[in-house]
Structure 1
Amino acid sequence: MPDAPLTDLQMKQAAERFGTPLYAYSAAELDAALSRVQAAFGDARIWYAMKANPNLTLLRRMQSAGVGFECVSLGELARAVKVEADGDHLLVNGPAKSDEEYRLGGDLGATFIVDRLGEVALLPPASRVLVRVNPGLSVSTHDHLATGAAHSKFGVRPDQLPDVLAALRSGGHTLRGLHLHVGSAIRDAGDFAAAFARVAELHTLTGPLEVLDVGGGWGLGADLHGIAARAKEAAASFGAVLWVEPGRYLVAQAGVLLTRVMGHKQTGRDFTLLDAGMTELLRPMLYGAAHPVQALWEGEATTSDLAGPACESGDLLGHDVTLPAGAVRGDLLALLEAGAYGAAMSSTYLTRPRPAEVLWDGTQWVTMRRRETAEDIWAAEV
């Protein structure tokens, strides 16, 4: 079984105290992930891709470590305001920004990441800008996560870049640099080398730049030092400082989703029934993500599918998962690497209250988000 960021005893105590389903995080692993990025990328500026997990407790921890925020919605900008982040620590990204997002980003003095030529006319006056480039590469990840592919909705094609640069100049905006993000959960480090090399070729169009932002998307077991070396070479071709935007890498391994066994059944498949499912963890259904699992009971090894409680055939958290046999109702299971896009993508479908989130700070459990109630869900309904 893989190791969890929390001990079995800590997970059992958390589940007993706060109930399940439950998101539980390790502060030590959050710190360790950030340290790994800092060690690999050195002086590169780090921006946290807030969409991975926007909990205010996590944002304040990132902010205290000097990390900036990449925001892709009005709500994420509001969270940045809530933690009192200033414009020098904010990036505004996204392919279809609203008028309100331009207005608030401009008021805060954030740097905008321009995603298409038509966006230049929508920018607030005298904006600071990075231009997102789509290198048109196939990468080793799920198609829904391949943001740098030619068919992706993201970024400016290299042949479109001269027109975007001209529009920025005529509009009175400041080009700070280029932005590149080719995907998430990328398995082959060679994909990054290919992308960095392709964007470095654009220096003949741009000349020297202040910034090269190479995004994130590194798989959790990636060779960060090797990736960083190639990124630094690309930045040097522009005479630019290097920026990176990790999201999942910083928080995924710090979090687990704790769930209890509700029962067992067999049809054409063997199913272990859980009290958590697609409403708590969407990634398996959305991306085909396979989360490591740690069972907190003992028995001979067997295989089973992990089925959630929703009346949806796709509500499965794992296929052919190796588990100890003999699980009984109430046994505890931990889905690992769930700190990113877990709680952030949870929903209230079926009027299921979203889970609580708690943090082990090294000495005690701290509540990051209380469990919702049914009343919370319908509070805005009229």
Structure 2
Amino acid sequence: MSLSPESLTDAAREYGTPLYVYDAAELDAALARVRAAFGDARVYYAMKANPNLTLLRRLHAAGVGFECVSAGEIARAEHVGAAGESLLVNGPAKSGAEYAAGARLGATFIVDRDEEVALLPPASRALVRVNPALAVSTHDHLATGAAGSKFGVTLEQAPGVLDALRAAGHDALGLHVHIGSAIRDAGDFTAAFGRLTDLRDRTGPLAVLDAGGGWGLDADLHGIAREARAAAEAFGAELWVEPGRYLVARAGQLLTRVVGTKRTGRHFVLVDAGMTELLRPMLYGAVHSVTALWDAPEHGLWDIAGPACESGDVLARGVTLPTPPRGALLAFGEAGAYGAAMSSAYLTRSRPAEALYEDGHWTLVRRRETPQDVWVAEEV
């Protein structure tokens, strides 16, 4: 994300902090990189990364479909005009409401277990999610293609699930594989696609191979795309992909102000954002880039801690910063994915505003919550 310190400071002055900010140019550039690598593959955005309606409308207008994993996400997709072949319904434990909404909109269902065949609405389009049982290069909580993961059917089960779908009158389009998120080693994708290709003799030709997403932000997309295309060609299938974090992470930053400093066993910068605004460091041990929007002659190592009464509410450790004055601004990078999406009202904290930068101007795309917004559903 290339927004200048001046533009970020303007946004914080206009909308307050904590604040999520998005760069429309970087969002467009990320989509362009995906399309340049994967060619005519159909692109579905994994909405869980960031479901802001303005971003969804922008992606929908660009011809991107949506992968949804909840009734709320399906409702968002419908709200921005997505339906039919532009909509996937995924998840390991779909509810009756999710099946009904997906069927009403003509979505394709991603079948995650064999007993789901009997739960699908009549004459559904479906893909079978396969777990290739790989040890992949990411945090355990993000490794959806590991043998111990709750996702997908085994390689041995997949052909039988395809046959069961056909026997039940469904349109069994093909296979789906998503091995995790923030994957560092492109060889993990090569291994996953190879294990799927091993099924070719047992499945015959397929209409679709959905290669999922999960590519690291610095991944060799063209190399991954070559492997994915080769796997799809082995089945005679059309290639689909589902980027989420890759499309939006670098388009977003979280702006936060310095509240003060303290020195105990370590040196802390206290800021007005914390685990309620950026959960990934606590949840996954994720490391986000940190930029100080001030300068000072002296620098030191600081831990950046939030306001929650939780020892784990530390956004970064051992960061080199200029001596922090009260009121100075920090920008956490790669926050466009799973920043706002995972934010919470824990401690009755009001979720931040969100703003989009395009053509030299800021636009508010989500207002800051009030405490009354947080508790309104309790007034029953």
Report TM bin, short chain: over 0.9
> 1:37: Cα distance to partner?
0.4
1:146 aligns with 2:143: yes
Whether the 8 Å contact between 1:5 and 1:255 is mirrored in structure 2 is no
Task: Give the Cα–Cα distance (whole angstroms) in 1 for the partners of residues 271 and 143 of structure 2.
Answer: 31
2:253 alignment partner, SS class: strand
* Counterpart contact for 2:344–2:351, Cα < 8 Å: yes
Query: Counterparts of 2:193 and 2:300 in 1: how far apart (Å)?
Result: 44
Counterpart residue number, 1:158: 155
Counterpart AA for 1:303: L
3-state SS of 2:231 partner = helix
TM-score normalised by length of structure 1: 0.98
For 1:21 and 1:36, how far apart are their aligned partners in 2?
Answer: 30
Separation in 1, partners of 2:144, 2:136: 9
Asked if 1:52 is matched to 2:61, the reply is no
Question: Is the Cα–Cα contact under 8 Å of residues 140 and 191 in structure 1 kept in the other structure?
Answer: yes
Asked if structure 2 preserves the Cα contact closer than 8 Å seen for 1:134 and 1:154, the reply is yes
State the 1:164 CA deviation.
1.0
**Alignment check: 8 A CA contact 2:162 2:174 kept:** no
Shift of 1:109: 0.7
Q: Quick one: distance in 1 between partners of 2:85 and 2:227? A: 26
Q: Give yes or no for the alignment of 1:262 onto 2:259.
A: yes
User: In 1, Cα distance between the equivalents of 2:188 and 2:299?
Assistant: 37
Which residue of the partner structure matches residue 184 of structure 1?
181
- Quick one: which of 180, 183, 192 aligns to 1:195? 192
CA drift of 1:297 comes to: 1.0
Aligned-residue offset at 1:301: 2.9
**Deviation for aligned residue 1:321:** 1.2
Alignment of 1:286-301 (within 5 A): 286-299=283-296, 300-301=298-299
Aligned equivalent of 1:221, options 199, 218, 221: 218
CA contact (8 A) 1:5 1:253 kept: no
Amino acid at match of 2:193: F
**8 Å contact from structure 2 (residues 253, 335) kept in 1:** yes
Could you give the per-residue CA deviations for residues 163-218 of structure 1, whole angstroms, max 9, x where no partner exists?
31222122111111100000000001111111111111111111111110000000
Q: Letter of the aligned partner of 1:312 in structure 2? A: E
- Identify the residue that residue 358 of structure 1 maps to in structure 2: 355
CA displacement 1:73-126 (0-9 Å, x = unmatched): 000000011111121100000000000000110111100000000111000000
1:8 is matched with which residue: 5, 10, 15?
5
Q: CA deviation at 1:303?
A: 1.0
Equivalent position SS for 1:357: strand
State the distance in 1 between where 2:302 and 2:368 align.
29
Aligned to 1:98: 95
Number of the residue aligned with 2:315? 317
Specify the SS of the correspondent of 1:158.
coil
Match of 1:307 in 2: 305
Partner residue, 1:276: 273
- Offset of 1:159 from its aligned partner? 1.0
Instruction: Please state how far the C-alpha of 1:379 moved relative to its aligned partner.
Output: 0.7
The Cα shift of 1:267 comes to 1.2
1:241 to partner: Cα distance: 1.0
After TM superposition, the runs of 4+ consecutive aligned structure 1 residues lying more than 3 A away are none
Normalising by the residue count of structure 2, what TM-score does the alignment of the two structures yield?
0.98
- Code of the aligned partner of 1:196: F
Other structure's SS at 2:250 match: helix
> Identity of counterpart residues, as a percentage?
69
CA RMSD for the aligned pairs?
A: 0.8
Does the Cα contact within 8 Å between 2:130 and 2:175 map onto a contact in 1? yes
Are 1:118 and 2:115 an aligned pair?
A: yes
Count of equivalent residues:
378
| Of 168-177 and 128-137, the range deviating more from structure 2 | 168-177
Letter in 1 for 2:179: V
Contact 1:24 1:258 in 2 (8 A): yes
